[in-house]
Structure 1
């Protein structure tokens, strides 16, 4: 009954073009067509400084703050 959106983003050259808004709107539309009660999105300090405000404008509300240690997927070529 829950869905998690992970690794959402656009290429640096697409920031400010509306591509992120288009993709988020599409992702939200697809997610909410399923029988879910909660949709999660995670952000971290690797994200663009405007990521959290963007997610909030998309309807997400901060739920928790935590520290997680993991490998940076960009360093692994992902």
Structure 2
């Protein structure tokens, strides 16, 4: 479909300008999603307690004392 549109524009001798900011945003979104996928892939290789500790520390920004308390109390 994209190629059909490009060919049609080429035949009409028109040019599509892409804003560099849009391209950068797309690239950043793609990188962010790829990194997110990699993180979750590696998290799955850890045991459940390690997964939980990493999620609490880095995703929910909890301190180590709170994480330990949650583990000890089973919350």
TM-score, normalization: structure 2? 0.31
Please identify the structure whose Cα radius of gyration is greater.
2
Higher strand share: 1
Higher helix share: 2
Higher relative contact order (CA 8 A, sep 6+): 1
TM-score, normalization: structure 1? 0.30
